[in-house]
Structure 1
Amino acid sequence: MLELLHTTNRDLSSPKGDILRGLLSSVGDEPHLLAQLRDQAVDSATGVWLTILGRAVARGEASPETLHPRVATVALTLLRNEYVTRGLATLPDSVVVEIVDEVYLPLIRGRTP
């Protein structure tokens, strides 16, 4: 999960990420285009994250209840949110590690009291 999020972060920090952020900002007045971009991005990413999470469930590292698209992609959503809400062109790897260690892993493993 960490490697997948690092890869996504590198993509978002690249010229390709610049183009994607530009597209997202320019389609604000075109709700149908924004919906298409969102649907395509979510559909392609969700399958990968569900597969990885399914393997973690099979190994006993995650609860079967976590096999839900929103849970599976929450780390990716948080990463994207960093770019969108902060207007950043690049994100330090430490933020990626924090998203995984402090949010994603506790979510899929369940917090202990």
Structure 2
Amino acid sequence: MRSDEPVRDPAEGTGGRTRRPRRRAAEVERAVLLAAVEELTEKGYDGFTMDRVAARAGTNKTAIYRRWPSRTSLAFAAYKRMVAWPGSPPDTGDLRSDVVELLRSAVDRMSSPMEAELLRGLTMDARREPEVMAGLREELGRGEPGTMLAIVARAVARGEARQEALLPRIATLPIVLLRNEYLMLGSLGPISDATIAEIVDQVFLPLVRPR
């Protein structure tokens, strides 16, 4: 047999189909997550199904359930891929301006109809799945530590913030409070600039400024 001839499954005989190369587990996982993100983007959370994800990823539901035991857990994994902050942290040369710009960008994302539906659907369904709910709360509370820590580190170098502010729990507080305002308190519609100003001026800046 020439090396460039297709490999056939012996069980199928000479008339069988060419056997597709077996993908590695990591490749299947990437394909499923990409398919899940695309399905959520196109169909929304209500239209999100394991059957559609499996078909789009070119795999079967059994392979998906081995990694994600439920529709909710897969949707949550896809959500984490969808919400990474785009681009570099704001760098205006002023701590307050950097944080306000970042929060406004977050409001724009969280106020989109797609993300609003996804977060509400995930929150409702995750109540029946404690592990997913714990992960969702952690995700909503972590506030992109790398982004906020970069902003605060520049502020420390400029003398606008204390060195002690470079703790993730402190640096990420503005995003934590913003997401809590949006999700846990049931805010409807875009969060106002006044709310952003309260978070930054009344809570965050007094906490991190040099004393």
Query: For the superposition of Structure 1 and Structure 2, which TM-score range results when normalised by the shorter chain?
Result: 0.7 to 0.9
Partner in structure 2 of residue 97 of structure 1: 197
Structure 2 unaligned spans of 5+: 1-98
- TM-score, structure 1 as length reference: 0.84
Count of aligned positions:
111
2:112 counterpart (14, 18, 42): 14
Alpha-carbon distance in structure 2 between the residues aligned to 1:17 and 1:95: 20
Alpha-carbon distance in structure 1 between the residues aligned to 2:202 and 2:151: 18
Question: Is the aligned partner of 1:36 residue 2:135?
Answer: yes
Partner in structure 1 of residue 167 of structure 2: 68
Q: CA deviation at 1:106?
A: 0.9
Alpha-carbon distance in structure 2 between the residues aligned to 1:44 and 1:85: 15
- TM-score, structure 2 as length reference: 0.48
More RCO (CA 8 Å, sep 6+):
1
Structure 1 unaligned spans of 5+: none
Are the equivalent residues in 1 in contact too, given 2:143–2:175 (CA < 8 A)?
Answer: no
| Higher gyration radius (CA) | 2
Instruction: Compare the two structures and name the one with the higher helix fraction.
Output: 1
Question: Is the aligned partner of 1:58 residue 2:157?
Answer: yes
Q: CA deviation at 1:84?
A: 2.5
Instruction: Let me know the Cα RMSD of the aligned residues.
Output: 2.0
Deviation per residue, 1:27-71 (Å, 9 max, x gap): 122121123334445567111111111111111110000111110
